[in-house]
């Protein structure tokens, strides 16, 4: 009997492995930037192009508008409409332009924390569902007040969105309310990261989506090529990511935007070698990335540009 049970268990494991089929997901961010009359049409063309590719998942890593356009209800509502125009289940990690930088004069001099409250209240009315036409069941941190921190699993790959933004993650030491917001959200982000890696036990790969380019400032310093300055709003989060990645011991892809440059590199080659950072296009380069996942391959991720044909066909100058 025991031999029969063991044999059945082995067959079940083999069957599970055999069903891990290659699939694709798309990453985009920092778009659309500019006046609606100029940028909405090419962004809608990109959405159409992505939908035609039929990915299993879409991730928008944030900055759905530029930092110099209004943060008013009309703009934020329009961006929510775009998120729900994707056919596939869609995850979204808010960027700094949607709330952190809304105090700017050209953005309307809004209270950043009020704008953040608006996004949380209006974007996440169903915290257990993704964005997109085909809404997927997801797990979120809504009960703790952070519905934007979300995750879902596709086959043997865990996908996690965590609210880490540019502008030093809103860590503004001269502004008490901003600093208080940062410390609370940063603690929630770290807790979410810990919970998500625990939930990923048994998976073969992990994808983390944030908005911020954590490596633009306070990084790659001569005295610590893989570290952050003390005042960095990314230091504790990145250090926790390194720790959890090492414990996980399998490929981790960190997808992000913020700097508008498509690049791939290992940010922590000695401290956390399993992490591959992938920054997507953005702003004037209103393109996306199509990533193929095959956990049966020697390395599970294959990244290719998805060029917006509406932009590519525009005449030079």
Q: How far is CA 182 from the centre of its chain?
A: 18
Q: What is the pLDDT along the chain (317 residues), one digit of tens a residue?
A: 334 433 333 333 343 444 689 999 999 999 999 999 999 999 999 999 999 999 999 999 999 999 999 999 999 999 999 999 999 999 999 999 999 999 999 999 999 999 999 999 999 999 999 999 999 999 999 999 999 999 999 999 999 999 999 999 999 877 899 999 999 999 999 999 999 999 999 999 999 999 999 987 656 565 577 877 777 899 999 999 999 999 999 999 999 999 999 999 999 999 999 999 999 999 899 999 999 999 999 999 999 999 999 987 665 44
Q: In the numeric block, which tokens belong to residue 226?
A: 């893989």
Report pLDDT for 173: 75
Spatial CA neighbour of 68 closest among 107, 33, 116: 107
Return the residue matching tokens 């960190």: 254
Which pLDDT score is estimated for 2?
33
- Tracing tokens 């199509």 back to the chain, one arrives at 290
- What is the pLDDT at residue 300? 98
Please choose, from the candidates 193, 156, 185, the residue with its C-alpha nearest in 3D space to the C-alpha of residue 169. 185
Q: What is the CA radius of gyration of the chain?
A: 20
Identify the pLDDT of residue 225.
72
pLDDT at residue number 218: 56
Cβ atoms < 10 Å from Cβ of 181? 20
> SS3 sequence, the chain?
CHHHHHHHHHHHHHHHHHCCCCEEEEEECCCCCCCHHHHHHHHHHHHHHHHHHCCCEEEECCCCCCCCCCCCHHHHHHHHHHHCCCCCCEEECCCHHHCCCCCCHHHCCCCHHHHHHHHHHHHCCCCCECECCCCCECEEEHHHCEEEEEEEEECCEEEEECCCCHHHHCCCCCCHHHHHHHHHHHHHHHHHHHHHHHHCCCCCEEEEECCCCCCCCCEEECCEEEEECCCCCCHHHHHHHHHHHHHHCCCEEEEECCCCCCEEECCCCCCCCCEEEEECCCCCCCCEEEEEECCCCCCCEEEEEECCHHHHCCCCC
How far is it, in rounded angstroms, from Cα 26 to Cα 162? Answer: 17
Burial of 285 (0-12, 13-18, 19+ CB in 10 A): middle
pLDDT at 85: 98
Class of CATH domain 19-312: alpha beta
Q: How are beta strands 252-256 and 275-279 bridged, if at all? A: parallel
């Amino acid at each position: 009997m025991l031999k029969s049970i063991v044999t059945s268990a082995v067959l079940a494991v083999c069957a599970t492995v055999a069903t891990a089929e290659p699939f694709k997901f798309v990453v985009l961010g920092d778009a659309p930037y500019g006046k609606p009359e100029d940028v909405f049409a090419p962004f809608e063309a990109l959405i159409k192009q992505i939908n035609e590719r039929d990915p299993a998942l879409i991730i928008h890593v944030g900055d759905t508008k530029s930092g110099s356009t209004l943060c008013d209800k009309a703009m934020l509502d329009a961006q929510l409409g775009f998120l729900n125009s994707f056919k596939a289940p869609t995850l979204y990690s808010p960027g700094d332009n949607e709330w952190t930088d809304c105090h700017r004069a050209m953005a309307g001099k809004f209270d950043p924390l009020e704008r953040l409250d608006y996004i949380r209240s209006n974007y996440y009315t169903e915290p257990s569902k993704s964005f997109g036409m085909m809404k997927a069941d997801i797990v979120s941190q809504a009960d703790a007040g952070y519905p934007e921190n979300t995750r879902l699993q596709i086959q043997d790959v865990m996908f996690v969105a965590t609210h880490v933004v540019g502008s030093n993650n809103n860590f503004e030491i001269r502004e008490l309310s901003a600093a208080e917001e940062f410390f609370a959200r940063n603690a929630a982000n770290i807790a979410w990261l810990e919970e998500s890696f625990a939930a990923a036990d048994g998976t073969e790969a992990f994808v983390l989506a944030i908005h911020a380019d954590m490596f633009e400032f306070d990084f790659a310093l001569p005295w610590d090529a893989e570290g952050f300055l003390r005042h960095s709003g990314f230091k504790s989060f990145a250090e926790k990511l390194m720790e959890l990645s090492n414990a996980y011991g399998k490929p981790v892809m960190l997808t992000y935007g913020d700097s508008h440059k498509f690049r791939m590199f290992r940010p922590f080659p000695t401290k956390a070698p399993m992490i591959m950072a992938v920054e997507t296009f953005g702003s004037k380069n209103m393109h996306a990335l199509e990533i193929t996942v095959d956990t049966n391959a020697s390395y599970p991720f294959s990244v290719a540009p998805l060029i917006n044909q509406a932009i590519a066909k525009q005449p030079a100058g």
